[in-house]
Structure 1
Amino acid sequence: MRYNKLELENATHYSNNQLLINCTKQIDKLIKNKLCIMKQIFTIILLLIYTVTFSQTKNTEGYDWPYKMPIWGKKAAAKGYKIQLPYGLNVNYVYNRMDLEITRFNMLIGDDPNSKLNQLITKYVTLDNLHFNKTIAKANGMNLRADVWVLPFWNIYGIYSNNQGSTEVSLEPRWYNKDGNLVLSVPNVYSKVNFSSNSYGIGSTIVTPIYKTLFFSLDGNTTWSHSDLLTKRVVFGVISTRLGNRIRFNNGMMIALYIGAMYRGFLDHQNNNGSILMQKAMPNLSNKVTTAINQQIQANNDEIDQLDPNNPKDKIQIIILQNKNNSLKEIRTAFNSLMESQVNYSIRKDIINHWSVNFGFNYEINPELTFRGEFGKGSGNDFVLIGLQYRFGF
């Protein structure tokens, strides 16, 4: 049997279409199967967490759970599992201390970065010149937290806090000329700037028993802070883990003791911009730098007076000392202008050590009232939390 060219082309086109349709159906089927498998895996994980969460906190008899939350709460109570009241209000006092490293820094007077004064500032008031030694941030204040148990093992919460804090800075300014010769070195200068901030955030906690009264928890939250010194908000993240043990007393009270680790860090990693009066921020800096400059200029002039300008070696030394004095005068002009002005600044601070070891307790006086405390210690950072929690349901 013979086929003409048109019939062959039609047959080939039909065959290709059928192949494409079959491939599409197979791909759709494969995607649906994978989605179904992922859904089944997710459901199994939730069921496993659900089972583990209550397998170690079972009462001898079931009881009625009158509240809508948490999800699965009624079924868990009917099987005799003990769960917390669904809603909570917390009032906490929180103290934080962290050693910081300043990794970026620049200043500007006014809006023209190309002005003669700002060019001097850019040249002489830099991160390398100021030579920051130690920066310590401290903050303390009240923390309000509202939470809900969505599932018997999963809690979500919102945070609001008002803090008073300070940033302590020590630096040893030093300047070199273009030949690498030291022009000026200023002894340690200390400064402390106070600030206030408001923060709000969200977080989540997962808690699961491990064996009998032992439990494990994982907590994470993100906060956004606004300070009177900064024009942009600061985004901060915290992740912590806890391993603990519950001890129940004969009078019905219970205490949970735990130990864990906490990670804290900035999440936006951008420069913080602000405006400040330098004389207020660093009142000791101007006097120390100006005094050191004047003394060095006088010492250089005294040395120049002892040299013979007709001697070739002395002539070279005179030129070096005169160049140093010119640089010192420019530094003095830049600093005096800075200290008398409202300065726009941009700074980036990073936490030196993000980790700390934490330990704490939850003392349950009754199902509604719990007293809690947590303390953290790391290299260059401290953390304290003391608070009261009230739980309820409706």
Structure 2
Amino acid sequence: MIKRLIPSFILVTLYYFNGITNAQIINKTSENINKIKTDSSSSLIEIQKEVYPYRFPIWGQKVYDRGYSLPLPIGFSAGYVNSSMGMHITDLDVGFKPVNEFQQDENGQPILDKDGNPKKAPYFGKNLPQETVDNIVKGPILDQLKNDVTLATATGMNYRMDMYILPFMNVYGMVSDVKCTTAIGLGDISTETFDALAFGGGVTMAYGFKGWFGTVDVNYSTTETDLLESNVIVSTYSVRVGKRIPLNHGKQSIAFYVGAMNRNFVSDEPSPGYIHLSSVLPGDKIPDEIPLGPINDGIENKIAEVYDGLPMPIKRKIEKELGRVPDGSQLNNFLNETVSKEFKDRINNTAVEYSIKKELIQAWTVQCGFSLEINKHFAIRGEYGIADNNKFLMTGINYRFGIKK
């Protein structure tokens, strides 16, 4: 059971890629872009000023006058991301509690005992001391978890909106709908898959000079899932440098770049969570029947002997349930059904409370990628990052536009 619970506790955080491409960075191309106009009828020379047509970025006209080419200020990106991170579990607490404290009938009303008080509902671990659970979880299980690599993987679509507020500064927000999987080895490898919603924001500082460019990016993202009571916040810092190569007489371009990225959990505090025990049982199934043993004359005779020795009130209750005085075979079937029902009721009424602390094995990755500028509006980008127990793959398309003055 623990082998199924552990993967449910781990939460992977999706890294958000910096959607700025080489063609979408302010670039020093010339000393002055103002046009010089001469009048043939006189000796006067008129300097004709080029007007920057968009509302953003702030100071766009000033840097435009100094010979900088500016990208369209607003962009929307959609991309597919596959990210995996290796981590160690450094601390783990597990406890059991009932989903419903009292027994309920089919109408959801509490079932009362003979004194008129609500009956306590059975649940798995009711009679299991917490000290025993701690000795198991914090003993051999946690010792092995500290040495094993837990691999957390997230795949999903990442949507990003950005804007150049200043010529060298781009701010953005993003959201992702991701499918997460965690795998851990406790003997046989066990996996758990769940959905999560991730969102965040960041800022990119960017500059280009004669085809060379560089970016520094900082963002914070949080991942939300039903498995955890609080969101997991991750910080990401990255730097990239690259070279732009013109294509098709400058109408298009392709760029290649390399860089480094650091991502880590913002808080060292353990992540608390809550999950139903029935959702983490092997195969997510509870057996319909727990047989007490094969039916034979010996067992039937023993069951009949036990029945004969029961107090009369209990005999009457059994006879009422069965509709008549039972024989050994009927008693065996009755006990099977009773035990199976109680087992299922206990499992369905059990919740697992947990607190888990984890650390990334490798926070830094080496990044490399490309950007293909189709025109000033569209660009396609791909990026790959790798380190020990840490991989990242991204591909997507970016569309840019501007709001005119």
Aligned with 1:61 (options 22, 33, 44):
33
Give the match's secondary structure for 1:129. Answer: helix
1:80 — aligned with what? 67
Shift of 1:338: 8.9
Describe the superposition over 1:56-90 as per-residue Cα deviations: whole angstroms up to 9, x where unpaired.
Answer: 33376333211111011112223432100111111
Do the aligned partners of 1:54 and 1:76 also contact (CA within 8 Å) in 2? no
Residue 73 (structure 2) pairs with residue 101 (structure 1): no
| C-alpha distance 127-253 of structure 1, shift in aligned 2 (>3 A) | farther
2:241 pairs with 1:254: no
CA offset digits 1:371-391 (Å, max 9, x no partner):
111110111110011111111
Q: How do residues 1-394 of structure 1 correspond to structure 2 at under 5 angstroms?
A: 56-58=28-30, 61-62=33-34, 63-110=50-97, 116-126=128-138, 128-130=140-142, 131-132=144-145, 133-171=148-186, 188-209=187-208, 212-249=210-247, 250-278=249-277, 280-281=279-280, 283=282, 341-394=350-403
Secondary structure at 2:54 match in 1: coil
After superposition, the Cα gap between the structure-2 partners of 1:115 and 1:359, relative to the gap in structure 1 and judged at 3 Å, is: same
- 1:64-118 per-residue CA deviation (whole Å, 9 max, x = no partner) reads 2111110111122234321001111111111100111001101000179996432
**Number of matched pairs:** 276
Contact 2:28 2:67 in 1 (8 A): no
Aligned twin of 2:296: none
Counterpart of 1:56, as a letter, is: K
Q: 2:70 & 2:127 partners in 1: Cα distance?
A: 67
Taking structure 1 as reference, are residues 279 and 126 closer, same or farther at Cα in structure 2, changes over 3 Å only? Answer: farther
Asked if the contact 1:360–1:372 (Cα under 8 Å) also holds between the matched residues in 2, the reply is yes
Higher helix share: 1
Structure 1: distance between partners of 2:71 and 2:149: 45
Deviations 1:341-374 (A, max 9, x none): 4311111111110011000112111111111111
Give ranges in structure 2 of 5+ residues lacking alignment: 1-24, 35-49, 102-124, 284-345
Match of residue 176 from structure 1: none
Higher relative contact order (CA 8 A, sep 6+): 2
The change in CA–CA distance for 1:243 and 1:390 in structure 2 (over 3 A counts) is: same
AA at the equivalent of 2:254: I
Instruction: Provide the C-alpha distance between the structure 1 equivalents of 2:237 and 2:61, rounded to a whole number of angstroms.
Output: 31
Residues 127 and 160 (structure 1 numbering): CA distance in 2 closer, same or farther, change over 3 Å? Answer: farther
Is contact 2:27–2:69 with CA below 8 Å preserved after alignment? no
Answer yes or no: is the 8 Å Cα contact 2:27–2:207 preserved in 1: no
Shift of 1:246: 1.1
- The one-letter amino acid paired with 1:371 is I
> What residue identity is the alignment partner of 1:126?
K
Cα shift readout 1:156-211 (whole Å, capped 9, x = no counterpart): 1001111001110112xxxxxxxxxxxxxxxx1321111111111110101123x5
Conserved? CA contact 1:192–1:281, under 8 Å: no
Task: Look up the match of 2:109.
Answer: none
**Alpha-carbon deviations, 1:251-298, whole Å to 9, x = none?**
5101221000010111122211222345643629xxxxxxxxxxxxxx
Could you say what secondary structure the match of 1:104 adopts?
strand
Structure 1 CA distance for aligned equivalents of residues 30 and 402 of structure 2? 20
* 3-state SS, counterpart of residue 110 of structure 1: strand
Q: Does the CA-based 8 Å contact 1:88-1:390 persist in structure 2?
A: yes
8 Å CA contact 1:59, 1:82 repeated in 2? no
Separation of aligned partners in 2, 1:154 and 1:57: 18
Report the residue type matching 2:131 in the other structure.
Q
Query: Residues 26 and 206 of structure 2 are in contact (CA less than 8 Å); yes or no, is this contact kept in structure 1?
Result: no
CA offsets 1:123-154 (integer angstroms, 9 cap, x no match): 22225434222210000101111101111111
SS in 2 for 1:145: strand
Is the CA contact 1:192–1:282 (under 8 Å) kept in the aligned structure 2? no
* Percent of paired sites with the same residue: 33
Contact kept? 2:32, 2:65, Cα under 8 Å: no
Amino acid at match of 2:180: G
TM-score if structure 1 supplies the norm length? 0.64
Say whether the 8 Å CA contact 2:92–2:137 is kept in structure 1. no
CA contact (8 A) 2:75 2:398 kept: yes
The Cα RMSD (Å) is 2.8
User: Any unmatched runs of 5+ in structure 1?
Assistant: 1-52, 172-187, 285-336
What TM-score do the two structures reach when normalised by structure 2?
A: 0.63
Give the secondary structure class of the aligned counterpart of 1:194: strand
2:87 is aligned with what amino acid? L
